[in-house]
Chain A
Amino acid sequence: DAKTTQPPSMDCAEGRAANLPCNHSTISGNEYVYWYRQIHSQGPQYIIHGLKNNETNEMASLIITEDRKSSTLILPHATLRDTAVYYCIVRVGENRDDKIIFGKGTRLHILP
């Protein structure tokens, strides 16, 4: 079972910031938060990951709460091409060989 909870769908106007929430209240101290997205008919694409500090790259920003029980992925200026399913993932367990489990994700619709 996925260790994260995400809303099933969200809408965002084109050009605005898209803020995608994720709850991971049972996260362990050495577990990372990862975000992937899957555009229709393509394979999932890595976006960003973090442990406890906020992270930013060319695609997005990741804000992790101080207690690490939730996080928010921010797409600063959403475009129509950002329409996709976004997956928030926490590594399962403490074994470095543990697998990543994809949940149902959030279907983000960018509205023109």
Chain B
Amino acid sequence: DAGVIQSPRHEVTEMGQEVTLRCKPISGHNSLFWYRQTMMRGLELLIYFNNNVPIDDSGMPEDRFSAKMPNASFSTLKIQPSEPRDSAVYFCASGPDRQGESTDTQYFGPGTRLTVL
């Protein structure tokens, strides 16, 4: 398995531009998570999906951020318009469906390093 795939790996854009980050979860996983990591705030959960349905988006910083999961093998995180303070590494993670006593093992992608000038 190729693991979680994210694209692009690096993105440099100018303030006000739209940015779209993409994620392909591990095949067969039912949960998908978007995180943001900065030096100041550490690793923050933005939103997570279960079976393509958004379960909790309370971590999404503001209306400029939106996430979709149109099918089990693809998700996007969009920022429109982007601002310099959005500069961070954005990670996507996926996890297997819960069974019995349940686990929360998450498998992370390599991340997208976003720089907004």
Contacts and interface: CB of A to CB of B under 8 A. Distances in A.
Interface string B101-117: 11111111111000000
A87 B93 CA distance: 16
Contact of A97 (B35, B45, B55, B107): B55
Indicate the size class of the contact surface on chain A: 20 to 34
B29 to A, nearest CB: 13
Contacts, number: 52
A100 B91 contact: no
Interface residues of B, number: 26
Contacts of B109: 43
A99 B48 contact: yes
A13 to B, nearest CB: 28
A45 B91 CA distance: 12
Given A43-B93, A46-B107, A96 B42 contact: no
A73 to B, nearest CB: 15
Given A32-B104, A96-B102, A99-B56, A44 B42 contact: no
Contact of B45 (A43, A100, A103, A104): A100
Interface string B68-112: 000000000000000000000001010000100111111111110
Contacts of A36: 106
Contacts of A101: 45
A91 B56 CA distance: 15
A50 to B, nearest CB: 11
Interface of B: 4, 33, 35, 42-45, 48, 50, 55-56, 59, 91, 93, 98, 101-111
- Across chains A and B, which 4 residue pairs bring their CB atoms closest together, nearest first? A43-B108, A102-B43, A46-B105, A44-B108
